[in-house]
Amino acid sequence: MALVDHSRTRVSAQTFSPDDVIAALAVRFARWREYRRTLAELQALDDRTLADFGWSRAGLPAVAREAVGR
């Protein structure tokens, strides 16, 4: 026989002011720009340099995400 819990946990609705939303978007945009800049710099490296680091071109997006903490 199994015990089934039908209770529901209520999550309080959190309200955000327009300033909070704008600030969050600004932070997200700044992280995206840093990611794009990092990825562009990595893509500019030649294949030999990438091989020295043990990276392939296909893995560069993941390396860039890790570098900027995404």
How would you class 18 by CB atoms within 10 Å of its CB: exposed for 0-12, middle for 13-18, buried for 19 or more?
exposed
Write the CA distances from 36 to 17, 39, 63, 68, 70, integer angstroms.
Answer: 29, 5, 12, 10, 12
Q: Mind listing the pLDDT tens digit for each residue in 5-61?
A: 556 666 556 788 999 999 999 999 999 999 999 999 999 999 999 999 999 999 999
Domain positions in the chain are 18-68
Whole-prediction pTM value? 0.71
